[in-house]
Amino acid sequence: MKKTEFLTGSFIALTLVVLLGVFFFQALFQPSYEGKVMPIDNVNLKDRVSLHYVLKNVNDASKYLATNGMRYFNNRSSVPSKTITFGKTKNLEEGSANEVTSIVVNYRGFDTLGEVTVLFISIIGLTMLIGGVKEKKLRMPSVIVRTGSKFLFPFILLFGVYIFIHGHLTPGGGFPGGAVIASGFLLLLLGLENFKFNTTVSKVIESLAGVTFVGIGLVGLFMKNSFLANFIPTGTIGFLYSAGMVALIYIVVGIKVGAELSTGVAELKEGNKND
Amino acid sequence: MNMNYALLLIAVPLAVAFLQPLFGMIGKKITKWVTFLTFAFNFAYAISLLNFVTANGPQIAVIGNWRPPFGINLYLSTLSLFLATIIYFVGMIVSFYFIGIKDKKIDDKLSLVMLLVVGAAGAIVMTGDLFNMFVFIEILSIGTAILIASRDKGMSYKGALKYMIFGSIGSAMLLFAIGFTYGTLGTLNLAEIALRFHEINPTLASFIVLLFTGGVFVEAELFPFNMWVPDSYEGASPHINAILSGVVSTAGIYAIMRVFMTVFGINIGDKILIYGKLNFNAILIAIGVITTIIGELSALTQKDIKKILAFSSMAQMGVIAFAIGIGNQTALTGGIFHLFNHAISKALLFLVAAMIIRNVGSSNIDDMEGFGRHNKFLAIIFAIGAFGIIGIPFFNGFWSKMYIIDGAVMRSTPWTYFALSFILGAALVEVFYYFRIIYKMFNDKKITTKNRIHPFAYISVILLAIVVLTVGIYPSLFSNILNSASAGIFDRVHYITTVLGMGVLR
């Protein structure tokens, strides 16, 4: 790159940054006026769509919006809501006790399908571009690592599976659970000298899990007339067998993410054997 | 017709992409065929939906049975489905061309990424949710970087890295814009934002608009976020470039149109102005003019055919941004029409360029001297595409540029005339460098050619050339669709009531 080109580029970038900075500070320190909304000095957490996700009264809110119109936006919390008791309330519109899961997988489940795809395409790109680099001779792992990794592996696997199976009850879910499983395989790859990870099997598992996710959505489309609609009874909140398809989707996501990250780690270490 | 089934347009490419590794184990050719068939299905289905929507007005598709603004919805208007049809059509043609290329090591993964990029672009033009748009823009930009890098030469890695940097900065800015929007209005639904955007403090509104600019200008190849264009286009394979300019920039321009006009805009008289303290319409006109001038002048200085076409593509995006900045319906109709023409003609030009490069063995236009004498057919097809982009009368670009000029004259302020004069001057430059290539091709000179060209490549460029000629001779073919599409951007109240229900204005 020529020096003049570089200077022009820097100048443009600097101008943009200064422009944005001026606007940002103006917005920060300007008092709200004429009743216009400012995020900084007047944060009202009840004035968000997520209020209904927490109270699990989205269907009521839809009805309220249809009858009251513009008045709804001025006062979201006037939508009627029921008290929900952990372990007792049955057949809610959305049955997972973990609020984050209910938003991520159910209310905005389509975004999660997108995020799963983002991870999928990133791993594809990573293995396609960097995979197959020649393996460097690593130092032989010590006895403690060798024994310890063999000993710990089943427990790590179990922990990962626990995280994604309980995704609708406790913090965590498909993505962290899958990452934990992949870390178990990473430990084996680093700790054991002659451990061979079968990428073909993991790719098959990953593909099938991904298709199952879309398939669950399609079953919703054919049974309940809407993509990713819940078609399984939600059960009692707080129980393991509850939350309908949310639990199912998180299991699928966990398996997919685990297989995907393990494939990525293994291919980075050993190179892409299939090609 | 049940509109919720429109989700198949997004779900099918995703499901097939997840299955592609399994197909790849059987054979690389199969993955290419599967990609092509998926696009063909999407194209056919999108056309049937487009007919329905043009006849019956915009519809929404609800996801997960959560009504908007609480859940995610798709907004299926004439504009969305028209652009989706273009995107799937270009994807179909390019994947058909891709079948004819000799199999390389990574082609199974490449057809997978192609499927996801085109599928994500289709999702961007249909979604009715800001964060959902962000997720698909993410897929689009990661996938595009992979496609650029896939040629496995030093230049392509450089281009991909540049695109990655711009793309990730743009995504980060877009995320901030979404954060501020959610922080103030408490919603991510485009219709609800459109209903209540004027409640935001004007300074903050301009800030959000500026941040949003960063996110979508990268994909739309607009100044100052288009520095990646020359390197990435030069590095990538030519048929990938057809996807870059036909699919990726189409999705980017749609995001600008929909979000800046329908969501951030306010109706004033016969035009839409973007709400906020800054006069963003004037900025958009200025950006359009600057992009056009930079693009055309840089194309003039280049010898590499891929770079020439890349800069030309950038310049056309500038013309469309100018049309959006003008902000009245005639100009917008022209902008949408020009988007269509650009996608088809540029895909045609890049595919022909790919065949010529393959035949001649070099992408320098000096080495192509005399190619027209050797292979008249391909040179004529190239000329058709070039005439379409330039806007020679009775080719498609003529009519869309006419619309844009008409709209700019209707606005009739001194500044628009001034800007228009620059756009027209830049168009003259465009005439010069395209004719220089055509002249060189028909020069009398013996030429030796290397590789044979697969018949599939011929079929795909002939299909595109037929579209270019048909639209050029019968421009009224789409006038119904185009008018309905630009009216859809203008009728903001209709957008809001379609998504949120009639009761919302009470």
**pLDDT tens digits for A80-94?**
888 888 888 888 888
CA separation for the pair B45, B92 (Å, rounded): 13
What confidence score (pLDDT) does residue B134 get? 92
CA separation for the pair B366, B440 (Å, rounded): 7
Contacts of B193 (CB under 8 A, 6+ apart): B130, B181, B185, B187, B263
What confidence score (pLDDT) does residue A154 get? 92
Label residue A239 by pLDDT band (50, 70, 90).
confident
Please answer yes or no on whether A121 and B113 come within 8 Å at the CB atom: yes
Q: Which of A82, A116, A151 is the last residue of a domain?
A: A82
A126 and A71 part of one domain: no
* Tokens found for residue A122: 């990133």
Shortest Cα distance, chain B CAs vs residue A137, angstroms: 26
Q: Is A57 part of a structural domain of the chain?
A: yes
- Residue in chain B lying closest to A66 (CA): B503
Shortest Cα distance, chain A CAs vs residue B146, angstroms: 6
Residue A107 touches chain B, beta carbons under 8 Å: yes
Q: Name the residue among B481, B429, B460 with its Cα closest to residue B89.
A: B460
Q: Residues 347..406 of B with a Cβ closer than 8 Å to A: which?
A: none
Measure CB to CB from residue A118 to each of B112, B139, B184 and give the nearest one: B139
Residue B4 touches chain A, beta carbons under 8 Å: yes
Label residue B38 by pLDDT band (50, 70, 90).
very high
Q: Which residue is listed with tokens 């498909």?
A: A174
Mean pLDDT value across chain A: 82
pLDDT in tens, A199-238: 888 889 989 999 999 999 899 888 888 888 888 888 888 8
* Tokens found for residue B276: 């906020």
Residue A198 touches chain B, beta carbons under 8 Å: no
CA separation for the pair B484, B481 (Å, rounded): 5
CA separation for the pair B46, B74 (Å, rounded): 13
**Residue of A30, A36, A249 to mutate, interface with B, max B Cβ within 10 Å:** A36
Say how many C-beta atoms besides its own lie within 10 A of residue B297's C-beta: 14
A148 and A250 part of one domain: yes
pLDDT in tens, A43-77: 677 778 888 888 888 888 888 888 887 788 777 88
Please answer yes or no on whether B501 and A118 come within 8 Å at the CB atom: no
pLDDT at B384 over 80: yes
Measure CB to CB from residue B187 to each of A49, A215, A229 and give the nearest one: A49
What confidence score (pLDDT) does residue A135 get? 59
Q: Name the residue among A109, A87, A110 with its Cα closest to residue A100.
A: A109
Residues of chain A with C-beta less than 8 angstroms from the C-beta of B5 = 221
Please answer yes or no on whether B210 and A23 come within 8 Å at the CB atom: yes
Paired strand residues for B304 = B364
Mean pLDDT of all residues in A156-181? 89
What confidence score (pLDDT) does residue A211 get? 92
Residues of chain A with C-beta less than 8 angstroms from the C-beta of B25 = 200, 203, 274
Measure CB to CB from residue A124 to each of B67, B109, B500 and give the nearest one: B109
Kindly list the distances between the CA atom of residue B72 and the CA atoms of A154, B45, B66, B211, B331, in Å, as whole numbers in the listed order. Answer: 39, 21, 7, 23, 31
If one counts the domains in chain A, the total is: 2
Q: Name the residue among B143, B10, B1 with its Cα closest to residue B74.
A: B10
Residue B224 touches chain A, beta carbons under 8 Å: yes
Tell me which residue range forms the domain holding A75: 32-82
Shortest Cα distance, chain B CAs vs residue A268, angstroms: 16
Please answer yes or no on whether A120 and B199 come within 8 Å at the CB atom: no
Q: Is A198 part of a structural domain of the chain?
A: yes
Q: Is A22 part of a structural domain of the chain?
A: no
Residues of chain A with C-beta less than 8 angstroms from the C-beta of B45 = none
Q: Which residue is listed with tokens 């993991």?
A: A202
Label residue A140 by pLDDT band (50, 70, 90).
confident
Label residue A275 by pLDDT band (50, 70, 90).
very low
Q: Residues 242..261 of A with a Cβ closer than 8 Å to B: which?
A: none
CA separation for the pair A232, A223 (Å, rounded): 10
What confidence score (pLDDT) does residue B37 get? 92
Label residue B136 by pLDDT band (50, 70, 90).
very high
A121 and A242 part of one domain: yes
Kindly list the distances between the CA atom of residue B48 and the CA atoms of B3, B53, B70, B269, B476, in Å, as whole numbers in the listed order. Answer: 11, 9, 29, 35, 20
Shortest Cα distance, chain B CAs vs residue A253, angstroms: 13
In one-letter notation, the amino acid at residue B332 is L
pLDDT at A267 over 50: yes
A114 and A212 part of one domain: yes
Cβ contact B128:B189 at 8 Å:
yes
Label residue B274 by pLDDT band (50, 70, 90).
confident
Ordered by start, the domain boundaries in chain B are 279-473
End-to-end CA distance of chain A: 36
Cβ contact B87:B122 at 8 Å:
yes
A130 and A179 part of one domain: yes
Long-range contacts of A193-201, Cβ-Cβ distance < 8 Å, separation of 24 or more? A193/A140, A193/A141, A193/A146, A196/A270, A197/A262, A197/A266, A197/A270, A199/A263, A199/A266, A199/A267, A199/A272, A199/A273, A199/A274, A200/A274, A200/B25
What confidence score (pLDDT) does residue B13 get? 92
Q: Is the peptide bond before B69 cis (omega within 30 degrees of 0)?
A: yes
Mean pLDDT value across chain B: 86
Residue B504 touches chain A, beta carbons under 8 Å: yes
Shortest Cα distance, chain A CAs vs residue B489, angstroms: 22
Long-range contacts of B151-155, Cβ-Cβ distance < 8 Å, separation of 24 or more? B151/B235, B151/B236, B151/B237, B151/B240, B152/B106, B153/B235, B155/B231, B155/B234, B155/B235
CA separation for the pair B418, B420 (Å, rounded): 5
Long-range contacts of B355-362, Cβ-Cβ distance < 8 Å, separation of 24 or more? B355/B453, B355/B457, B355/B461, B356/B305, B356/B382, B357/B238, B357/B305, B357/B306, B358/B450, B358/B451, B358/B453, B359/B449, B359/B450, B359/B451, B359/B453, B360/B447, B360/B449, B360/B450, B361/B450, B361/B451
In one-letter notation, the amino acid at residue A34 is E
Residue A12 touches chain B, beta carbons under 8 Å: yes
A64 and A109 part of one domain: no
Residues in chain A, overall count: 275
Q: Is A92 part of a structural domain of the chain?
A: no
Mean pLDDT of all residues in B403-419? 86
Kindly list the distances between the CA atom of residue A11 and the CA atoms of A6, A16, A51, B114, B337, in Å, as whole numbers in the listed order. Answer: 9, 9, 44, 36, 35
Q: Is A41 part of a structural domain of the chain?
A: yes
Q: Residues 67..96 of B with a Cβ closer than 8 Å to A: which?
A: 67, 69-72
B4 vs B271 pLDDT, higher one: B4
Q: Is A122 part of a structural domain of the chain?
A: yes
Contacts of A174 (CB under 8 A, 6+ apart): A164, A167, A249, A250, A251, A252, A253, A254, A256, A257
B116 vs B101 pLDDT, higher one: B116
Kindly list the distances between the CA atom of residue B204 and the CA atoms of A24, A148, B184, B225, B283, in Å, as whole numbers in the listed order. Answer: 8, 55, 9, 22, 17
Kindly list the distances between the CA atom of residue A202 and the CA atoms of B13, B210, B281, in Å, as whole numbers in the listed order. Answer: 22, 44, 52
Residue A42 touches chain B, beta carbons under 8 Å: no
Mean pLDDT of all residues in A13-29? 76
Contacts of B427 (CB under 8 A, 6+ apart): B296, B390, B391, B401
A38 and A115 part of one domain: no
Label residue A274 by pLDDT band (50, 70, 90).
very low
Contacts of B149 (CB under 8 A, 6+ apart): A125, A129, B156, B157, B159, B160, B235
The 3-state secondary structure of chain A reads: CCHHHHHHHHHHHHHHHHHHHHHHHHHHHCCCCCCCECCCCCCCCCCCCHHHHHHCCHHHHHHHHHHHCCHHHHCHHHCCCCCCCCCCCECCCCCCCCHHHHHHHHHCHHHHHHHHHHHHHHHHHHHHHCCCCCCCCCCCCCHHHHHHHHHHHHHHHHHHHHHHHCCCCCCCCHHHHHHHHHHHHHHHHHHCCCCCCCHHHHHHHHHHHHHHHHHHHHHHHHHHCCECCCCCCCCECCCCCCCCHHHHHHHHHHHHHHHHHHHHHHHHHHCCCCC
A154 and A231 part of one domain: yes
Mean pLDDT of all residues in A153-170? 90
A122 and A64 part of one domain: no
pLDDT in tens, B350-382: 999 888 888 888 788 888 887 778 888 888 888
Mean pLDDT of all residues in B84-106? 86
CA separation for the pair B124, B69 (Å, rounded): 18
Label residue A10 by pLDDT band (50, 70, 90).
confident
Q: Is A120 part of a structural domain of the chain?
A: yes
Residues of chain A with C-beta less than 8 angstroms from the C-beta of B196 = 73
Q: Name the residue among B496, B506, B416, B457 with its Cα closest to residue B75.
A: B496
CA separation for the pair B334, A233 (Å, rounded): 51
**Which H/E stretch holds residue B76?**
strand B73-76
Mean pLDDT of all residues in B136-152? 88
